[in-house]
Structure 1
Amino acid sequence: MEEAISAADANRKFSHILRGVREGQSYVVTSHGKPVARIIPADEMTKVAAGARAALFSRLEAQPVVHAGHWTRDELYEDEK
């Protein structure tokens, strides 16, 4: 569960926030009422990254192969006029 906390409170209570994060708590840090950052347990970020990577690979594997022919390095990087 995420708890919103102002940037000023996050600064004052940082050690308290870290204890909460160690216990699995997540925080959304706000500035002037708008979310600016998220503090989450490190292992949760790893799970998010792994899920995003898996979704990307799944999408890439599903796309058809495009046969664009052969080109030289010079052709690839030539300036368009």
Structure 2
Amino acid sequence: MVKTVSAAQANREFSKLMKLAESGERVVVTSRGQPKVQITRIEDADAERTRRREAFDRMTERLNSQPALNLPRLTRDDFYD
């Protein structure tokens, strides 16, 4: 679950928000209604990093298994008429 709070509220209730994040809840801090910062447990950040690394490795493996197209090398000028 995600809890959204304003920056002012985050300043007033930081300890409470840290406890929520430690319990597994994601906290999004907004400024002028726009999300700016996310507070999560460190384990969650490590898990996300691992997930992204695995996705990158799968993509790289897939690209390496495809045949090369041997397209001609393009220069900047090739994009202008």
2:13 corresponds to which letter in structure 1?
K
Overall identity of the aligned pairs, in %: 30
Unmatched 5+ residue regions in structure 1? 67-81
Corresponding residue number in structure 2 for 1:2 = 2
CA separation of 1:65 and 1:50: change in aligned 2, threshold 3 A = farther
Structure 2 stretches lacking a partner, 5+ long: 69-81
SS at match of 2:16: helix
Assess, with a 3 A threshold, how the Cα gap between structure 1 residues 65 and 57 changes in structure 2: closer, same or farther: farther
Runs of 4+ in 1 over 2 A off after TM superposition: none
Task: Work out the CA distance in 2 between the residues paired with 1:32 and 1:10.
Answer: 13
Shift of 1:23: 1.1
Q: Is the 8 A contact 2:22 2:40 kept in 1?
A: no
Partner secondary structure for residue 24 of structure 2 = coil
| TM-score of the pair, normalised by structure 1 | 0.75
Query: Please, what is the CA RMSD of the aligned residues?
Result: 1.5
Distance 2:48 2:17 in 1: 21
Q: Which digits, 9 at most, give the CA deviation of each residue in 1:8-48, with x for residues without a partner? A: 11011111111111111111100011101111111111111
What secondary structure, in the 3-state scheme, does the structure 2 residue paired with 1:59 have? helix
